[in-house]
Structure 1
Amino acid sequence: MAFVELVGTAFFNPGEEDGAEDDVVYVPYQNTVYNFAIFTYAGNDWIDLRDANPNAVNTQVYSGLGNDTVYGSATMDLVYDSKGRDRVYLGDSDDSLDAGFGNDFYDGGAGRDFISFYILHDSDLPSGTNITGVKFDLQIRTAQNLGPFGTDVIVGFEGAGGGNGHDTLSGTRGDNVLSGNEGNDFLVGRGGDDQLLAGAGRDTLIGGVGGDALSLTESIQSSDIVRFLSMGDSGVGMRNGVVDRIYGFAAGGTPLHDKIDLRALDAIAATAKNDAFLFRDTGPFTSAKGEIRYEVSSAGNILVHVDTDGDAAAEMNFWVMGVTVLTSADFML
């Protein structure tokens, strides 16, 4: 076993030249601010940055092939996990972690932390990119089967990113960031003011309750869907943080264009069945039947109004940014 008190900025393979020993790398407090990069290899290593100068930024840790334990610093850490049954405890800042192979335990700690399933470090794939879909729920605090990443316990994270497969990522009641990357992904924000980012592929985005930002791929090759499941999924009015905002929407109404799915909403609250909406374009609400209409702002954005009780006033609004014309074909009613 090798014990290393790191006072420089980078360290590779502690112990033997091949890094096969079980090593301890400790970073003490230093008056000089260093942005550390620590690389381990084989062996069951212990990396401890808890006492490092909190003014350092972008501290990077590359854990190796053994069963490693990593304690992050008080500043922003970037941790890249590899193989083994690892335990990673991030610090108090906004940290980022690339999940690795093996049955691991990851704790994001305080701050707004992000976990990515995009890269398989030390994999046999030519690019190292994860091409298998991952189903991950930020709300679950027990073990989750994450396919090639193993069965992991993941707590204390506020954001997650998928890989090149067909991913399902779900948020919490708080404010989350979910990024699908490539593949046909399914992103669910739940509560809070979430940011949902579609990537390449045919994605479905469900913001849930709160004023969410839903960003689609700006290409008609993606044909993404923004889906509302309840009238509480967006608020009433115009303000950010209250109503949802849809970005990158490709209007046009063909199968290659994006869609706004309102089918789960009951257009007429007074009836027992789930009624479909009537589309009124930019005209006024006209009847007691459930209707949607829109208006174009001076900034070139569309505010959609949804009425379910026939009082000619909206019970839900949402923005479609950067678009000035919608037709009924842009909706699933």
Structure 2
Amino acid sequence: MATDADAADEVVYALIDDAGGRFSIDPRTGEIRVASPLDAETAIAHDVIVTAKSGDGSTTSQSYTIGVADVAEHVTLADGGVGFVDAGIAELSVTGGDGDDVISTHETGGGSIAGGRGNDTIEDGTGHETAVYDGAGADYAVEEAEDETVIVRDLREGAPEGTDTLSGIKTLRFSDTEISMEEALNRPPGEIAFAAAAVEENAIGAVLGQLSADDPDEGDTLRWSVDDSRVFVDEAGLLRLADGQSLDFEKVPLTLDVTATDRFGLLSTRKITGAPDDTAEWLSLGDDSVVFDDIGVSEFEISGGAGADHITTHASGGTARGGANDDTLIGRGGDDLLDGGAGRDTIKGGGGADTLIGGDGDDSLWSGSGHDYIEGGDGADTLDGDTGNDTLDGGAGDDRLIGWFGDDVLDGGDGNDRVDGGNGDDTLSGSGGDDTILGWIGADSISGGNGNDVIDAGSGGSFADEDGNDTVHGGAGHDMIRGGYGDDLLHGDDDNDTILGGHGDDTIVGGRGDDSLEGADGSDQFWIGSGEGADRVDGDIGWTDLVRIMDGSGPVYGSGNAIDGEGWTVLVDDGHSVTGVSDGNATLSQDAAGIITFDEGGSVSFAGIEQINW
């Protein structure tokens, strides 16, 4: 305001310097007013020049400085990279523009700082400020530099917010979350280490081992958790079985996921599999269908239940019992006792001197390479002896027994059995039932037992068919065949055989070789042929015994004690006689003796014969 000496003159005011249009003045009162917004962050004072003009035309001028008071506000910086220090009143927020800004927060702290686009530097001396970013937390990498500043890198395509360097910032705010700087820099726990302890099988509440993990963040505390309620981790990091819990070596190994979690929820997980030390025990597998392999300490005994079990014994041998279902029992190299029990079982002995018992049901049993004892039990069983000197007992039922290699003892037992000795000097018996017995290779001893049996000796042996109407083939070799009771068909086949018909009306065929054929009780038939060797036939005293010439034919001439056929001649000994000759048959006196000779070689001396047939 200006004073004129002439009171009647009017004074008019004007600004000859309005600080770039920032101010205006009332020409009558001289009141200076703000013409455009003032920014204390740009300038804290502005100079203006005021002119006062009197009515008489005289003027005067005066310069003034107008201060700009700072207020808290939301500050947005210009583009191009700006250096900003919040030195006045602490701003509500500061937002950088495009470019590499350098922003220092107020000494008393303030609001949030957004660097905006570019590689910005934000310095907070108070440790209370929040740095703001427009992307989601996963769009940025946050890491601590060696000088303890924090580097925030924009991972989005083109990195619109660049790479910022922060110091003293307390919190990071993203579009989807707000986290403390401590949490943002937090690193997960390191790999979990586990030092396993020796655990005795069936020990209740045992310590399984020691857990540990390194956390890279100083002062962090780890919290342990396990995904199985049977175990827990105590305060010392020991992995323990819960009260009442124990481990069984024979069951599925304990498999756990153990987790170490830090205070911000970052975690490290390790899978731990453990089993106790095995101890020998009387092991029951229960009623489920179980596959069990005794690979630890050899159990005293392994017993299956109601399920269809698959049990393999220890390599050193063991005892396994199958239970009531269709079980599979497997032996290894040791001496095993394998008992299938009820059901259609499969039993394999492996090496060692094994005892295999099929039990009830139609079982299949293999002995393996040792000298084994195999018992089929009830049912239609299959027994294989393999390479050792095995003993096979079919038991009740229609069984199939094969000795294969070795000097085996095979007994079919009750039932209509097939008994096959295979290679080796075997002892074969059909026992009860109508059996088929095959000797094959070796000097076998064969007994048919009760029943109507078929016996094929193979390469030689001695045979007793006992009761029943049996058929026996001696095969190659020097055979000893005893017919026993029944009307038997006995074949010596090749080589020098001895055949005893026994009781019954037997048919005895010597075959090739020098054979000794004896009928004993019963009206027996002896079948002979030319070129088959020098045979001896004895029908025994009494009965009506017959010699049949298998290749006899053509006209026959009888004279006295002689009968001449085409290619053969019968001469009856003195004291005996030919009592009649008809077409294809000659009758002799009771228990006649004599000799039959063949033009092509061979002869048969006979005694106790009443008929000759051709």
The bucket for the TM-score relative to the shorter chain is 0.5 to 0.7
Answering whether residue 309 of structure 2 is matched by residue 22 of structure 1, we say yes
1:179 alignment partner in structure 2: 447
C-alpha deviation, 1:74, in angstroms: 3.6
Change (3 A) 1:332 1:98: farther
Answering whether residue 521 of structure 2 is matched by residue 257 of structure 1, we say yes
2:396/2:415 contact within 8 Å kept:
no
1-structure distance, mates of 2:330, 2:429: 26
1:117/1:163 contact within 8 Å kept:
no
Map 1:262-281 to 2 at 5 A. 262-263=526-527, 265-267=528-530, 274-275=551-552
Q: For 2:387, which of 95, 110, 122 is the aligned residue?
A: 110
> Which TM-score applies when normalising by structure 1?
0.53
Map 1:197-212 to 2 at 5 A. 197-212=464-479
> For residues 210-244 of structure 1, what are the alpha-carbon distances to aligned partners after superposition, in whole Å with 9 as ceiling and x for unaligned?
12232444xxxx14536236xxx242xxxxxxx33
2-structure distance, mates of 1:206, 1:331: 24
Q: For 2:322, which of 36, 40, 60 is the aligned residue?
A: 40
Change (3 A) 1:289 1:96: farther
1:258/1:330 contact within 8 Å kept:
no
Change (3 A) 1:102 1:207: same
C-alpha deviation, 1:102, in angstroms: 7.1
C-alpha deviation, 1:8, in angstroms: 7.4
2-structure distance, mates of 1:39, 1:156: 31
Change (3 A) 1:249 1:195: same
2:304/2:321 contact within 8 Å kept:
no
Could you say which structure has the higher strand fraction? 2
1:188 alignment partner in structure 2: 456
C-alpha deviation, 1:63, in angstroms: 1.7
2:369 alignment partner in structure 1: 92
1:300 alignment partner in structure 2: none
> Which TM-score applies when normalising by structure 2?
0.32
1:224/1:257 contact within 8 Å kept:
no
C-alpha deviation, 1:51, in angstroms: 1.3
1:212/1:244 contact within 8 Å kept:
yes
C-alpha deviation, 1:192, in angstroms: 0.8
C-alpha deviation, 1:52, in angstroms: 0.6
1:185/1:204 contact within 8 Å kept:
yes
1:328 alignment partner in structure 2: 609
Q: Tell which has more relative contact order, 1 or 2 (C-alpha 8 A, sep 6+).
A: 1
Which amino acid is the alignment partner of residue 81 of structure 1?
A: G
C-alpha deviation, 1:14, in angstroms: 0.6
Answering whether residue 332 of structure 2 is matched by residue 50 of structure 1, we say yes
Question: Number of residue pairs matched?
Answer: 249
1:289 alignment partner in structure 2: 568
Answering whether residue 357 of structure 2 is matched by residue 80 of structure 1, we say yes
Change (3 A) 1:168 1:103: closer
Change (3 A) 1:326 1:194: same
Answering whether residue 225 of structure 2 is matched by residue 225 of structure 1, we say no
2:500/2:520 contact within 8 Å kept:
no
1:138/1:171 contact within 8 Å kept:
yes
Which amino acid is the alignment partner of residue 322 of structure 2?
A: T
C-alpha deviation, 1:68, in angstroms: 2.9
Change (3 A) 1:86 1:173: same
Q: CA RMSD in A?
A: 5.1
Answering whether residue 466 of structure 2 is matched by residue 213 of structure 1, we say no
> For residues 272-303 of structure 1, what are the alpha-carbon distances to aligned partners after superposition, in whole Å with 9 as ceiling and x for unaligned?
96239xxxxxxxxx99737799xxxxxxxxxx
2-structure distance, mates of 1:328, 1:159: 34
2-structure distance, mates of 1:246, 1:193: 13
1:223/1:258 contact within 8 Å kept:
no
1-structure distance, mates of 2:338, 2:456: 30
Which amino acid is the alignment partner of residue 451 of structure 2?
A: G
> For residues 162-189 of structure 1, what are the alpha-carbon distances to aligned partners after superposition, in whole Å with 9 as ceiling and x for unaligned?
3532223334355545432211222122
2-structure distance, mates of 1:330, 1:108: 47
2-structure distance, mates of 1:329, 1:77: 56
Answering whether residue 334 of structure 2 is matched by residue 68 of structure 1, we say no
2-structure distance, mates of 1:332, 1:112: 47
2-structure distance, mates of 1:332, 1:250: 22
Which amino acid is the alignment partner of residue 497 of structure 2?
A: D
Percent of counterpart pairs with the same letter?
Answer: 19
1-structure distance, mates of 2:394, 2:419: 13
C-alpha deviation, 1:207, in angstroms: 1.0
**Structure exhibiting the larger radius of gyration computed from Cα positions:** 2
Which blocks of at least 5 consecutive residues in structure 2 are unaligned? 1-289, 399-411, 507-518, 533-548, 554-563, 573-594
Answering whether residue 497 of structure 2 is matched by residue 244 of structure 1, we say yes
2:311/2:328 contact within 8 Å kept:
yes
2-structure distance, mates of 1:330, 1:39: 62
C-alpha deviation, 1:24, in angstroms: 1.1
Which blocks of at least 5 consecutive residues in structure 1 are unaligned? 31-35, 54-58, 122-128, 140-154, 236-242, 277-285, 294-305, 318-324
Change (3 A) 1:63 1:52: same
Q: Secondary structure at the match of 1:328?
A: strand
Which amino acid is the alignment partner of residue 210 of structure 1?
A: G
Change (3 A) 1:206 1:119: same
1:133 alignment partner in structure 2: 416
